[in-house]
Amino acid sequence: MAERVQLETFQTPAGEAVFPWLSRMDTQHDASGVFHTDLALPPELAEEFAVKLERIRDEFAASLPQAKQASLVARPVSKLEMTRPVYPENATPEQKKALKDAHEPEPTGNVLFRFKLKANVTTKSGESFSQEPVLVMADTGEACTDPIYGGSIIKIRGQVVPYTNDSAGNYGVALRMKAVQVLDLKTGSGSGNAHWTDFDETGS
C-alpha cells in the first residue's frame, strides 16, 4: 500500500470573502459540486501566508524527477485583486453588461487567494463520499447557518495540496478548505471536523 502523503495545514489571517460559495455548493462549472471562495488580504498580511505556500510548492517541485521539473513552471500562489464594476440594486442584465464592458479594472492593493472543497468525491479506489466546510461564528463558536455573502470577514483553515498539471505545464498548490470562521457576517434580507474549528489568534 502506498504511503499516505502528510499534507501541511494552514490558517489564514482575517480577510474579506470575495464571491463566496460557502453556504451552498456551486454546480455551475462542476456538476458534482464545489464549495469555494477567494480571500482578499492586504499585502502586509498576505506576504507571510504566500511565503509559506511558495515554500511548500517549491519543496514539492524539488521532490519530482529532474526531467519532470524541467518540463514544468511554477504557478503563482496568489494574484492581485482588481476592481469590479458596481451595479445598481435593480440593474437589468443589459445594464450590468454595459457597466462591465465599460469598466477598466485597476488594482485594489489587496492580494487574492483561492480556496476550494469538492462537495462530492470519488477516490481512485472507487469510494464515494460527500463533504462540506464547517462554518462557525467567531463570537459564539456556534455553526453559521445564515448565508455568507461577499464582504464578510472570515478566516479559513485547511490543507495545502501540492499538484502537477502536465497539460498546462505547471505545478502549484491547491488550498483545500476545511473550515471557515466568520468574524463579521454580511448576508441577505461532527467530531471528525472538530479540530478544524480550533482557530488561534494569529494563524499559521
Residue among 157, 175, 168, 173 nearest 60 (CA): 173
Stated pTM of the model: 0.86
9-82+107-189 fold: OB fold (Dihydrolipoamide Acetyltransferase, E2P) (2.40.50)
73-74 vs 170-184, strand pairing mode: parallel
- pLDDT given for residue 1 in this prediction: 38
| Mean per-residue pLDDT of the chain | 90
DSSP string, the chain: -PPPP-PPEEEPPSEEEEEEEEEEEE-SS-TT-EEEEEEEE-HHHHHHHHHHHHHHHHHHHHTS-HHHHHH-EEPPS-EEEE--PPPPTT--HHHHHHHHHH----EEEEEEEEEEEESEEE-TTS-EEE---EEEETTT--B--S---TT-EEEEEEEEEEEEETTTTEEEEEEEEEEEEEEE------GGGGGGG---SS--
The reported pLDDT for the residue numbered 6 is: 86
Q: Which residue has the higher pLDDT, 5 or 93?
A: 93
Q: Domain map of the chain by residue range?
A: 9-82+107-189
15 falls in which pLDDT band (50, 70, 90)? very high
Residue 129 has pLDDT above 50, yes or no: yes
In which band, very low, low, confident or very high, does the pLDDT at 202 lie, cut at 50, 70 and 90? low
